[in-house]
Amino acid sequence: MAIRSYVGALLLLLSFSSTINAEVFHIGNYGAKGDGTSDISRALLSAWKDACASNTSAKVLIPGGTFALSEVVLEGPCKAPMEFQLQGTLRAPADPSRFKTDGWVVFQHIDGLIVSGGGTFDGQGKIAWEQNNCNGDTNCRTLPFNLRLNFVDNALIHDVTTLDSKQFHVNVLGCKNVTFRHFTVTAPGDSLNTDGIHIGRSAGISIIDSNIKTGDDCVSVGDGSQQIFVTGVNCGPGHGISVGSLGKWKNEEPVVGVFVKNCTITGATNGVRIKTWPASPAGVASDMHFEDIQMNDVANPVLIDQGYCPWNQCQAQVPSLVKISKVSFKRIKGTSASQVAVKIACSKLVPCDNVEITDIDLAYHGPEGPAVSECLNVRPLISGRQYPPACAKVIQGYQPSQRNPTKINDTFDSDAEGVLPHSKHDFEYK
C-alpha cells in the first residue's frame, strides 16, 4: 500500500475518534496530582480502564503540570477508539532499579489509538546512561524504553515529545498502520542505546515531519518490518537512519519495503545505512530506497555495512548471510565528516544485487584529501553525476556497471537548489 493510503486511513481515524462527542476521562477525577512527586499510576490505570470500557470513542486527559509516573501497561482491547491526550509532563523514576520490565509507558493490544496533546514523556535517563555497560557486556540488563507499542493497530502519535529515555525512546513491535507525525525525540548525543524509534515485525509504519536528536539511531528498522516510510525527518545528533542491525539472531523475518525521503541529517555518526552482522544466519532485506537526503557534516553518509561488529562481539571473519537487494541511493547531497563518503560493503558469500547509486554530491574538507567511495562485493548501477566518483575503489574483482555515467572531471554544481524530478518509484511501491 502506498504512503498516502496509510496517512489517509489514519487521518480518517483521527477525525472519527477525536470528535467533540468523545467521552473525557480526566485523571484529576481519579485523584491524580500534578505536583511532580505523587505517583499517578493507579489513577491513570483506573481512568484508562473506564475509558477502554466506553462504548463510544474515549479520551484519557492528562492536563498541564508535572506528574510522577511509575511503569504502566495501558491494555486493550477497548470497545471503541481511544485517545491518550498528554498536555503536561509525565516524569519517570530516575533510578532504573525501580523498573521491573523494559517498558515505562506501554500501549498494547489496541486497535484505534491516538496519542496527542503537546506534552512530554520525560524518562530521566541520566543515571541509567551512566550505569549502561552494554558496550562490553552482551548480557547487560535491558533498560526501560519510554514508550512501547505492542500489537497496536491503526494508531496516530502526534505532537508529543519523548525526552531522555533510559534506552530506546520508542519500540514498535507487532504493529500495523501506525503513524508518527510532528513527533519529537530529544536526548544528548552521548546517551547510550537511545534509539529514537525502533521498529520490529511491524507493517505500515510512517514517521513524518518529525525531529529526532538522540545518542543512537534516529530510526532503526529491525527484522520483520515491511512498508516503512520515513519522510521529512530531521535527524541528529545520533547514528543516522538505519536498517538493522540484522542477522544477529536465528529465525529473523525478512525486511521488505523501506522508503526514506526528504530527510535532513546533521552531525550524525552515520547517514543512511544498512547493517548486518557477520557470521549471521540466512536472512533477507530488500526494496529499500533512500532519496533526496541532505547531509550536514555527517560521517559515513551512505553506508551498507555487512560486517557490522560493534565491540568485537562477533566472528568478524565469517561473512554475513543476509541477502541485500533492490536498494537505491538517489539525490543525496551535503558534507561528509569522513573521507569515505559512500561505502557499499556487501557480503562475500551473498553479494548485494540491484543496487542503484544516482546523483550523489558529498564533499569532504578534511586533511586526507577529497571525498572517496568504496565498494565491496557489489556491482551497482550508476547514473547521474557522482561526487565522489561512485565505487572508485572496487575490491574482490567486482566492477560497477554504469548507466549514463558522468565523466569524473565534470564540474558538479554543488550549489544547485531544488529537487530533481522524482523517479517513478517515489513511494508507490506496492
Of 15 and 123, more confident: 123
pLDDT at 420 over 60: no
Query: Mean pLDDT, to the nearest integer, of 47-75?
Result: 98
Higher-pLDDT residue of 140, 7: 140
Computed on alpha carbons and rounded to an integer, the radius of gyration of the chain in Å comes to: 22
* Mean pLDDT on 10-35: 76
Mean pLDDT, rounded, for 317-345: 97
User: All 3 cell numbers of residue 307?
Assistant: 560486517
List, in order, residues 6 or more apart from 372 with CB less than 8 Å away: 339, 340, 341, 388, 392, 393
Domain ranges of the chain: 3-405
Residue 11, pLDDT > 60, answer no
pTM of the model: 0.89
Q: What is the pLDDT of residue 146?
A: 99
Q: What is the CATH architecture of 3-405?
A: 3 Solenoid (2.160)
Mean pLDDT over each residue of the chain, to the nearest integer = 89
Residue position matching grid coordinates 545528533: 237
Q: What is the pLDDT of residues 362-410, one digit of tens each?
A: 999 999 999 999 999 999 999 999 999 999 876 544 334 344 333 222 2
Q: Which residue has the cell 474515549?
A: 58
DSSP states of 215-263: SS-SEEE-TT-EEEEEES-EE-SSS-EEEEEESSSTTPPPEEEEEEEEE
Q: Could you list the active site residues?
A: 216, 239
Q: What is the pLDDT of residue 20?
A: 56
What digits encode the pLDDT tens for the residues 205-256? 999 999 999 999 999 999 999 999 999 999 999 999 999 999 999 999 999 9
What is the pLDDT at residue 414?
26
Confidence at residue 21, expressed as pLDDT on a 0 to 100 scale: 78
The better pLDDT of the pair 201, 138 is held by 201
CA distances from 1 to 206, 231, 257, 383, 415 (A): 12, 16, 10, 28, 36
8 CB-near residues (< 8 Å, 6+ apart):
none
Q: What is the mean pLDDT of residues 346-357?
A: 98
Q: Position of cell 503536561?
A: 88
Q: Which residues contact 62 (CB under 8 A, 6 or more apart)?
A: 27, 32, 44, 84, 85, 86, 87, 88, 90, 117, 119
Q: Environment class of residue 330 by beta-carbon count within 10 Å: exposed (0-12), middle (13-18) or buried (19+)? A: buried
Mean pLDDT of 412-426: 26
d(CA 107, CA 408): 53
Model pLDDT, residue 381: 97
Q: 196-230 burial string, b = 16+ CB within 10 Å, else e?
A: bbbbbbbbbbbbbebbbbbbbbbbbbbbbbbbbbb
**Residue 317's pLDDT is what?**
83
Q: Is the pLDDT reported for residue 38 higher than 50?
A: yes
pLDDT per position as a tens digit, 236-247 = 999 999 999 999
